[in-house]
Chain A
């Protein structure tokens, strides 16, 4: 078995509208094809309205686990936004967690209005490092914007995620999983996003 513990817990978090739900669904479908029992839970209500959002993935060889991961039990984190990564680690982190971070911030209303500053991104990444066993990072939004649409950033992140060997994800599994879920007209772009994420991710 590829996972060292059961259930293996993955959190994908970011800001409503960044596509964390789709990313978790694609990952869930890939793992289901490998024979695991998958549960995906989603924080709800904020999904498209700029709030902080999270998907919890439980991967087990035997039981259907609850859609909420107990505190302190995240094994692998995908943060689509830097401070959202830190927010999640505050509740679900532990010394063994491996984190992947999209370095591009999205400013909450209170930052835009100037009531409070957005923390320095390098400082945020350092703190994520302090709370993680390993940190991997890339500017997925920038890559997606280069491709012409920020909507691809979640697929860029999935590509980056696929470099973690325990997940055993390859381009073929990804292509199968997005079939019927994402528009087939944009298949080649999604595959490109996946590949670019895979190439761009770096360990910090």
Chain B
């Protein structure tokens, strides 16, 4: 039984923030959940997919975020509660639909959970998705704890239904991907026949009328927020400093106040309903203080809202000092932490903080800097992408025209770093590698002669590469796309997609064949195995040099982690110590210095390569690249 489906009201369990959101949706009686995976949001829909059959839900991994939101919205239109989840970048994809949906409104509760990634720990940007709440006039909730993640999600459905408007829940990595105590509530088992009321067309037109209705709905949300239990104050009646915070900033602020023993001097106003602002409540607290510090992740969203409101009311409020991101008090890029908040409170209130002897701290940092090597991210041992980039690197070198890779979003984005031999030179949004490569392909007429290789993963292909490929074919571009098919959405946790033959809930689905689709989109298609390094190199070189038009090379090899879950190693690997010539070989230690698979080790004393049996997955690729044939692979 899944932890989120326990029918045990009153029981406390340890839930990840994302699981708590999923549980909240279950307690709210959702019937449909649709999403495209993306960290830090993936486990919400991931955990719901595991209980879908048990609860009679429809849960799907949609091909992209816009479609996902449309699927969840259809449920709402027909009277069933719908949930849609995504990461911050996904909201950009969904935004075209979203910014019309505000005008049409919704029927049953419709909640869009967006997980932001402050510090871009697993993203290509650290976008603050809260801007969309203001842009589209959506009520916005921000959970600060795991319990709140559940309660808020559950309540968001009621609020959405009351207003007839989708509600945004914005969470961040440190809430979504952390775990904590969550007290469970009742699980409803409702049955309701869906029906679309044709007397109430769901259209944005007439725009001005609907826009006025939308503004009214938002005003009503503001009134409801005034008494929300998600907004509360902790501290003395008249604090020297008022912290206004939301989301993960709450736990950091609390930690800082406790560590500095400031609970008699500093008050914390925690706001859970961050848009529209609960104005009267904020006003009441502003009246009592002279100095306010805003603690929130990424943009000064709450900070600017409060300051705008203050500008309207400053006549009654007197002079205030505002500190936050705009004043430079807190960093306006990157992630916050308890240490950052502690240090700013120390500066503001002139208090000392010494959690450990200074000489120890200095010594510990010195020793660590002296002895601890860096450990950068890289492709896993046995990852097909390392072999692919090896082939790309060699093909581009043989071609000799200063070619490069136009990258895309997935594990293979690591191709810009050392474990992809730094071949990737552009990286933006889902599908942008193929889009850019199609654009470079149009520049030949102007004398552009650098070969460009677009790469994309299998899931990314369905998400956003298909339009780019269609465009390249139609507009007669020259394009070489390497479709790195590892049979999973690997970066985000191995979710299935239309090429895998499985749905989110593990049921059989028709396989939408990549080869057939690419051909239908006008491409010349070839198939390859990235582990056949030499053959792949030759194919890439030939496609770069010989053929004009749109070409797709599908390189198929299952993700090593997916494979490792169910199957044994392909090969037992061994280095024949007599055959390995070490530094004298003349290969420049191709296996370890150049190819650098973490499954290999280099014995500096023996001057020989070796295999780390705790890491090696037995893919056999290193045996193929060793010029001395010292690395042996033996079929298991």
Contacts and interface: CB of A to CB of B under 8 A. Distances in A.
Given A25-B14, A95-B360, A113-B592, A72 B355 contact: yes
A131 B252 contact: no
A45 B174 CA distance: 12
A180 B19 CA distance: 15
B464 interface: no
Nearest to A69: B338
Interface string A33-64: 00001111111111011111000000000011
A38 B337 contact: no
Given A32-B13, A104-B614, A114-B593, 16 more contacts: A28-B14, A38-B179, A38-B180, A48-B561, A49-B414, A50-B375, A50-B598, A67-B174, A71-B361, A87-B372, A89-B368, A95-B360, A109-B376, A112-B601, A118-B373, A131-B367
A38 B379 CA distance: 33
Interface string A92-122: 0111000000001011111111101111000
Interface in A1-27: 15-17, 25
Interface of B is mostly: mixed
B110 interface: no
A16 B381 CA distance: 11
A66 interface: yes
B255 interface: yes
Nearest to A181: B3
A168 interface: no
A31 to B, nearest CB: 9
B364 A93 contact: yes
B411 interface: yes
Contacts of A67: 174, 178-180, 248, 251
A150 B614 contact: yes
B419 interface: yes
A71 B355 contact: yes
B83 to A, nearest CB: 23
Given A50-B380, A73-B355, A86-B372, A114 B602 contact: yes
Residue among A70, A107, A123 with max Cβ neighbours from chain B (10 Å)? A70
B482 interface: no
Nearest to B371: A119
6 contacts: A15-B375, A67-B251, A71-B355, A86-B372, A108-B376, A109-B375
Contact of B122 (A44, A90, A123, A153): A44
A12 to B, nearest CB: 13
Nearest to A73: B355
A112 B180 contact: no
Contacts of A70: 255, 259, 337-339, 342, 355
Contacts of B592: 112-114
Given A49-B411, A64-B251, A91 B368 contact: yes
Contacts of B355: 70-73, 94
Interface residues of B, number: 72
A196 interface: no
Contacts of A114: 589, 592-593, 602, 604
Contacts of A66: 174, 248, 251-252, 254-255, 338
Contacts of B40: 44
A145 interface: yes
Nearest to A149: B614
Interface centre among B13, B418, B594, B612 (most CB of A within 10 A): B612
A42 B372 contact: no
A127 B367 contact: yes
A113 B373 CA distance: 13
10 tightest A-B CB contacts, nearest first: A90-B368, A67-B178, A66-B251, A94-B356, A150-B614, A72-B356, A40-B179, A108-B375, A45-B122, A51-B377
Given A63-B254, A86-B372, A94-B355, A72 B361 contact: yes
Given A50-B598, A66-B251, A68-B174, A109 B418 contact: yes
B337 A68 contact: yes
Contact of B373 (A32, A48, A63, A108): A108
Contacts of A153: 614
Contact of B179 (A28, A63, A84): A28
Most buried by A among B254, B255, B380: B255
Contacts of B203: none
B477 interface: no
Interface in B574-600: 589, 592-594, 596-598, 600
Interface in B1-56: 1, 3, 12-14, 39-40
